[in-house]
């Protein structure tokens, strides 16, 4: 495919990366937690969707209807059951516990589903494309993914900026103790935040599973790309995360055009370049962290 | 009716004891002052009442029920609100949002956004600005307004005059009658004695984590207060 | 107490080639390798408060450095082990410049991101064997027993030096500075501890130790590939050993490595369940007994072989 084509593919891929990044960014913003199993949980969602599709014959595009609430509930339980207990005790517990989760999840998935590559099949839409003129063609599904990502990000912005819950997120992020003085139970709030992040992860995981093959070990790369998108875009800005995701996506697809092995590496190099030359990211709100 | 009843309250920061058996009462509808020098334990006392410090369950009774050690967010639902030392305005929120977050628990009562802005008009004028862009005195009004938005039965005010010019402090104290008229009891901690003694029905003086003097302002002479304050 | 136990162990190790067989020697090489890896990770996380999940970068770099130094440059493979550590530490410098911009969780992910970059760069290099990797040819001329004995000697030397050095280091001013930084960076900064430099020294030291161990591992295995050398499983082992054994102590990783080996023997037939169990145990220990198994022992019986805590005498 041509260069412009590659760039367009990269932009659309970026939408998906932004979805992964949004959850990571939300959780870090609200509770300063980096969930090292972030990517792995999205793969769990993909496998859950696979089981659902295999047993019921449901179209994967409809799978979110069941999987999103399930994952959201799971996120709430994980946060309140385990992760809340790791907070406020220093740097080690959250990193170690979530890392532990990552290893546990990957190996459980390996045992249960074997090492085979899997894919969710929505019956043809993922390969259909539409012509945009000038010899340019865009896949329906990547476009759909991008649109979904933008809508979800807009929804998150709305929640954070306009609702009581969003105010509670921001207040707790600023000053957890004073937020308690407003009647905010931070343990419950964190649970809700994680539920929200898991819901977004579920959509991202399912879209990923339709777009490409996945296995038990696909999780860590999701975390890595999400992290890179967040850093490139700048901490604290959801729309910055979209730009970060897009830049990463374009870097990867254009890099892959040079040589397939260089796709991911180009993304890494762009990430490192941003880190070295603009450590605050491209769109940091306020002072950056 | 006694709204807040504290009996033999002890409080610790780790191994360090900050309060040594404090006892006091606050009647419904009253304004009660707690004075004392730095480090006397006044802020610790308020934090204990507000639920930020773990204490013995029976040491604090609110509206007849033991509430000692209950978490702060639960006490807000019961009607205890703390306006913390240093104001602690949320930097990510606008003035309006800072007020709105006070209403998070949606306790029923007379205080609404409109009514708070009537009390402190500057808040209405600056509603869209970031909370931390206000001046010190305005931030104090915002912090008080935010506390009022929880519709508390008991409002705890921690050193509201700290760092503010006397003129500004007077303006804030002038709002107190309206607050009490709305049905809120006030417990005010102050280092600046003069302002608060004019509005309080009862005053307690703290020294080294214990009550060193208690009485009505009219009954207390300057020398008595000085002695209790400094321990001479 | 520590001195007596250490002397006994040293004598046993030194005489082992007489009374032990080759497979025991190989197991011990592996044991020591994991132990040193864990000690290095412990130095970073348990003492300095730097939680890295990218130490496999230095393991891989050390391993590849060994192959390059021994096969391409022609140096003695056994002496190259230490040199490989230096190479790894050299790469740690620019890496630190990047990752030290982060704290906490993002620091962890950053270290892993850099490890991935190293892996991909090597996997794309034809001189280094691309994805299939390379074999250490320099040892082929040697007789098998000689090679195994020399590897064992290198391992024992590495193990002893690592533990002795950790102990001495941590009991020195630097150790005190490290622990101060772990507890509070701003506080130690205000007390005159050069936080940046101390962290960097700890990071470089850990890279050196990890790189040297990586070289030892591949001296033993003889075949290196990017996916194996830069696998995150190495970090998983390091973390689990330290967490289960006891973070922030020197004895902890020793206990942890023993538990790790025991579990591996017990569960060798169960495939991936082994890692699931290991992960679950580590998470549980982290939540319930954060000081690990050795921490439980010191709590109960106040036993310390390598005391690095300082106590005020009343």
Interface membership of A26 toward B (CB under 8 Å): no
Percent of chain A at pLDDT above 90? 67
Task: Judge: A171–B102 Cβ closer than 8 Å, yes or no.
Answer: no
Average pLDDT over residues B165-177: 89
Task: Judge: A167–B73 Cβ closer than 8 Å, yes or no.
Answer: no
Give the confidence band of B114 by pLDDT, cuts at 50, 70, 90: very high
N-terminal to C-terminal alpha carbon distance within chain A: 40
Sequence-ordered list of residues with C-beta below 8 angstroms from that of C2, at least 6 positions apart, any chain: C304, C305, C306, C307
Q: Is residue B123 pLDDT above 80, yes or no?
A: yes
pTM: 0.89
Interface membership of A51 toward B (CB under 8 Å): no
Task: State which residue of chain B sits closest to A180, comparing Cα positions.
Answer: B73
Percent of chain C at pLDDT above 70? 93
Q: Residue B105: left (phi > 0), alpha (psi -120 to 50), or beta?
A: alpha
Closest by Cα among A91, B13, A94 to C184: A91
Contacts of C123 in chain A (CB under 8 A): 261
Question: Out of B211-220, C8-17, C275-284, which region has the weakest mean confidence (pLDDT)?
Answer: C8-17
Interface membership of B146 toward A (CB under 8 Å): yes
Of A178, A185, A186, the CB nearest to B84: A178
Q: What is the pLDDT of chain C when averaged over all its residues?
A: 86
Paired tokens of B155: 């409002």
Q: What is the pLDDT of chain B when averaged over all its residues?
A: 92
CB C147 within 8 A of CB C139: yes
Q: Compute the distance between CA of residue B227 and CA of residue B212 in angstroms, rounded to an integer.
A: 9
Q: Is residue C98 pLDDT above 50, yes or no?
A: yes
Task: State which residue of chain A sits closest to C272, comparing Cα positions.
Answer: A107
pLDDT tens track for A20-34: 999 999 999 899 899
DSSP letters, B91-152, are TTSBHHHHHHHHTTT---SS--HHHHHHHSHHHHHTTTSBGGGS-HHHHHHHHHHHHHTT--
pLDDT at position C193:
67
C-alpha pair distances (Å), B146 with each of A193, B95, B100, B219? 24, 9, 7, 34
Q: Compute the distance between CA of residue B94 and CA of residue B130 in angstroms, rounded to an integer.
A: 4
Interface membership of C117 toward A (CB under 8 Å): yes
Interface membership of C280 toward A (CB under 8 Å): yes
Interface membership of A280 toward C (CB under 8 Å): no
Closest by Cα among A249, A250, A289 to A21: A249
pLDDT tens track for A118-157: 998 887 766 677 776 666 778 888 889 999 999 999 999 9
C-alpha pair distances (Å), A157 with each of A194, A234, A239? 16, 15, 9
pLDDT tens track for B31-86: 999 999 888 899 999 999 999 999 988 899 999 999 988 999 999 999 999 999 99
Interface membership of A284 toward B (CB under 8 Å): no
pLDDT at position A251:
94
Contacts of C271 in chain A (CB under 8 A): 111
Task: State which residue of chain B sits closest to A162, comparing Cα positions.
Answer: B97
pLDDT tens track for B186-228: 999 998 788 888 899 999 999 999 999 999 988 888 888 888 8
Question: Out of C60-64, C120-124, C209-213, which region has the weakest mean confidence (pLDDT)?
Answer: C120-124
The residues in B 163-222 lying below 8 A from A, measured between CB atoms, are none
Query: Testing the interface with C: which of A107, A226, A261 to mutate, by most C Cβ within 10 A?
Result: A107
Average pLDDT over residues C25-50: 90
Q: Is residue A289 pLDDT above 50, yes or no?
A: no
Q: What is the pLDDT of chain A when averaged over all its residues?
A: 89
Give the confidence band of C310 by pLDDT, cuts at 50, 70, 90: low
Q: Is residue C121 pLDDT above 50, yes or no?
A: yes
Give the confidence band of B182 by pLDDT, cuts at 50, 70, 90: confident
Task: Judge: A182–B91 Cβ closer than 8 Å, yes or no.
Answer: no
Q: Do chains A and B touch, with touching meaning 3 or more CB–CB pairs less than 8 Å apart?
A: yes
Interface membership of A171 toward B (CB under 8 Å): yes
Task: Judge: C108–A95 Cβ closer than 8 Å, yes or no.
Answer: yes
Phi, psi of C18 (to 5 degrees): -70, -50
pLDDT at position A286:
42
Of A164, A173, A180, the CB nearest to B73: A180
Task: State which residue of chain C sits closest to A114, comparing Cα positions.
Answer: C272
B110 vs C271 pLDDT, higher one: B110
pLDDT at position C306:
65
Give the confidence band of A177 by pLDDT, cuts at 50, 70, 90: very high
Interface membership of A116 toward C (CB under 8 Å): no
Interface membership of B97 toward A (CB under 8 Å): yes
Q: Is residue A287 pLDDT above 60, yes or no?
A: no
pLDDT at position C105:
83
Task: Judge: B77–A178 Cβ closer than 8 Å, yes or no.
Answer: no
Give the confidence band of A228 by pLDDT, cuts at 50, 70, 90: very high
Interface membership of A115 toward C (CB under 8 Å): no
Percent of chain B at pLDDT above 70? 100
Contacts of A182 in chain B (CB under 8 A): 73, 76, 101-102, 104-105, 146, 150
Q: Is residue A195 pLDDT above 90, yes or no?
A: yes
Q: Do chains C and A touch, with touching meaning 3 or more CB–CB pairs less than 8 Å apart?
A: yes
C-alpha pair distances (Å), C10 with each of C4, C26, C113, C146? 10, 17, 39, 21
Query: Testing the interface with A: which of C119, C181, C276 to mutate, by most A Cβ within 10 A?
Result: C276
Question: Out of A201-215, B103-117, C181-195, which region has the weakest mean confidence (pLDDT)?
Answer: C181-195
Q: Compute the distance between CA of residue C38 and CA of residue C34 in angstroms, rounded to an integer.
A: 6
B232 vs B124 pLDDT, higher one: B124
pLDDT tens track for A51-70: 999 999 889 899 999 999 99
- ipTM of the modeled complex: 0.93
């Amino acid at each position: 495919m041509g260069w412009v084509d590659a760039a367009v593919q990269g932009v659309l891929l970026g939408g998906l990366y932004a979805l992964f990044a949004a959850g990571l960014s939300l959780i870090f913003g609200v509770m300063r937690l980096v969930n090292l199993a972030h990517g792995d949980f999205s793969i769990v969602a993909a496998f859950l969707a696979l089981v659902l599709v295999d047993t019921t014959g449901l179209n994967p595009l409809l799978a979110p209807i069941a999987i999103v609430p399930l994952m959201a509930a799971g996120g709430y339980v994980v946060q309140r059951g385990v992760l809340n207990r790791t907070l406020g005790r220093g740097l080690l517990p959250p990193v170690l516990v979530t890392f532990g989760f990552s290893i546990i999840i990957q190996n459980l998935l390996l045992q249960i589903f074997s090492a085979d590559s899997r894919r969710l099949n929505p019956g043809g839409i993922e390969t259909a494309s539409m012509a945009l003129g000038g010899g340019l063609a865009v896949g329906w599904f990547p476009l759909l993914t991008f649109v979904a990502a933008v809508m979800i990000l807009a929804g998150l912005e709305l929640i954070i900026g306009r609702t009581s819950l969003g105010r509670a997120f921001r207040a707790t992020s600023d000053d957890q103790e004073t937020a308690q003085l407003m009647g905010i139970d931070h343990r419950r709030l964190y649970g809700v935040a994680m539920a929200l992040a898991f819901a977004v992860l579920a959509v991202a995981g399912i879209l990923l599973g339709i777009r490409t093959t996945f296995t038990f070990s696909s999780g860590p790369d999701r975390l890595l790309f999400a992290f890179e998108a967040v850093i490139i875009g700048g901490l604290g800005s959801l729309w910055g995360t979209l730009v970060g995701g897009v830049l990463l996506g374009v870097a990867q697809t254009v890099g892959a055009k040079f040589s397939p092995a260089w796709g991911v590496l180009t993304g890494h190099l762009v990430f490192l370049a941003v880190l070295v030359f603009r450590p605050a990211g491209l769109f940091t709100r306020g002072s950056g962290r | 009716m006694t709204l807040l009843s504290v009996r033999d309250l002890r409080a610790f920061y780790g191994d360090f004891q900050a309060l040594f058996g404090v006892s006091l009462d606050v009647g419904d509808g009253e304004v009660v002052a707690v004075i004392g020098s730095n480090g006397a334990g006044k802020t610790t006392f308020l934090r204990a009442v507000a639920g930020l410090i773990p204490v013995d369950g029976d040491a604090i009774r609110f509206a007849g029920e033991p509430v000692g050690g209950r978490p702060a967010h639960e006490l807000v639902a019961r009607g205890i609100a703390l306006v913390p030392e240093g104001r602690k305005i949320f930097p990510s929120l606008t003035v309006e949002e800072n007020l709105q977050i006070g209403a998070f628990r949606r306790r029923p009562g007379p205080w609404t956004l409109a009514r708070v802005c009537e009390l402190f008009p500057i808040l209405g004028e600056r509603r869209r600005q970031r909370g931390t862009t206000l001046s010190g005195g305005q931030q104090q009004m915002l912090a008080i307004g935010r506390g009022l938005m929880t519709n508390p039965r008991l409002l705890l005010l921690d050193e509201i005059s700290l760092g503010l010019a006397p003129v500004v402090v007077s303006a804030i104290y002038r709002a107190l009658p309206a607050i009490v008229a709305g049905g809120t009891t006030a417990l005010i901690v102050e280092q600046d004695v003069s302002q608060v003694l004019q509005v309080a029905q009862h005053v307690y003086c703290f020294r080294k984590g214990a009550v060193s003097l208690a009485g009505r302002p009219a009954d207390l002479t300057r020398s008595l207060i000085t002695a209790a304050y400094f321990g001479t | 107490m520590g001195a007596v136990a250490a002397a006994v162990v040293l004598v046993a190790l030194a005489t082992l080639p007489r009374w032990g067989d080759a497979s025991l020697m190989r197991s011990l090489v592996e044991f020591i390798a994991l132990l040193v890896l864990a000690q290095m990770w412990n130095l970073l996380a348990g003492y300095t408060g730097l939680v890295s999940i990218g130490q496999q970068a230095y393991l891989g770099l050390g391993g590849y450095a060994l192959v390059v130094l021994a096969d391409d440059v022609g140096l003695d493979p056994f002496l190259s082990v230490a040199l490989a550590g230096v190479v790894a530490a050299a790469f740690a410098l620019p890496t630190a410049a990047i990752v030290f911009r982060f704290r906490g969780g993002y620091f962890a992910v950053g270290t892993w991101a850099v490890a991935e970059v190293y892996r991909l760069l090597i996997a794309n290099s034809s001189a280094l064997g691309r994805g299939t990797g390379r074999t250490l040819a320099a040892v082929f001329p040697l007789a098998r027993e000689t090679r195994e004995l020399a590897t064992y000697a290198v391992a024992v030397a590495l193990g002893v030096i690592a533990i002795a050095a950790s102990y001495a280091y941590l009991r020195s001013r630097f150790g005190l500075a490290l622990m101060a930084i772990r507890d509070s960076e701003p506080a130690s900064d205000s007390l005159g501890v050069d936080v940046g430099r101390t962290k960097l020294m700890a990071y470089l030291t850990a890279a050196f130790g990890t790189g040297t161990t990586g070289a030892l591992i591949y001296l033993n295995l003889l075949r290196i590939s990017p996916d194996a050398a830069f696998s995150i499983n190495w970090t998983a082992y390091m973390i689990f050993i330290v967490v289960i054994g006891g973070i922030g102590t020197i004895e902890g990783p020793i206990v942890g490595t023993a538990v790790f080996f025991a579990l591996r023997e017990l569960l060798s037939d169960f495939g991936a369940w082994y890692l699931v169990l290991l992960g679950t145990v580590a998470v549980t220990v982290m939540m319930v007994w954060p000081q690990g198994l050795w921490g439980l022992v010191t709590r109960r019986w106040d036993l310390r072989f390598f005391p690095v805590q300082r106590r005020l005498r009343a």
